[in-house]
Structure 1
Amino acid sequence: MRSPRQPPFLARKTYRRRRMMDAARLLPLLGIFLFLLPILWQPRLTPEPDTVHGVVYLFGAWTVLVIAARVLARIVMTEPDEGGPDDRDEAG
């Protein structure tokens, strides 16, 4: 009989860095969703237009996306990728 296969071991830092890279790749999709969301808003039954609320929302969403991108970029850039081909000694 076959022995059960052990799951591959992934270094914790490498795994976390890759998940942060995946999150950074999903930010544009989140941005598209957030920017298109005001289209679904129903206008109020008031004589004043709702433009102010929409503009505040869009700039708020844009600010959140910028901050999230900066945080994710800082996390990805500061954690070294351990065990990769770049970490090997050139002489050996």
Structure 2
Amino acid sequence: MSERRGGETPRGPTLFLERQSYRRRRLSEVARLMPIFGAGLFMVPLLWPVGDESEQVQTSSAILYLFGVWGGLILAIALFGLVTRSWAQSDQREID
């Protein structure tokens, strides 16, 4: 039976990603998915029932929902920017 060296498995060497490149990749994935998530939230009112007056959603409720989603997306993107900036600064400190 052969000895295994550190970092190797029977299938080959293990893949190790640096913390900085891993974070950057995950952040880019979140940035790509945010518009799709937002579009999905904006389309939710299209699923609301249309029919009798007893089942209909009021227009004012729909408008409040849309503005709430819009404001929530603005806050989410602002927080995402702050987190990204702080991670970039901490990664830069590790490099220096």
Larger strand share, 1 or 2: 2
Q: Which amino acid aligns with 1:60?
A: G
Q: Which residue number corresponds to residue 90 of structure 1?
A: none
CA distance in 1, matches of 2:29, 2:47: 28
CA distance in 2, matches of 1:12, 1:68: 23
Q: Which residue number corresponds to residue 22 of structure 1?
A: 29
1:78 to 73, 86, 89: 86
Two-structure CA RMSD over aligned residues (Å): 3.1
What TM-score do the two structures reach when normalised by structure 1?
0.69
Q: CA deviation at 1:60?
A: 0.8
Runs (5+) with no aligned partner, structure 1: 88-92
Structure 1 residues 1-92: aligned runs within 5 Å: 3-43=10-50, 45-46=52-53, 50-80=58-88, 82=91
Q: Whose RCO is larger (CA < 8 A, sep 6+)?
A: 1
User: For this pair of structures, how many residues does the alignment match?
Assistant: 85
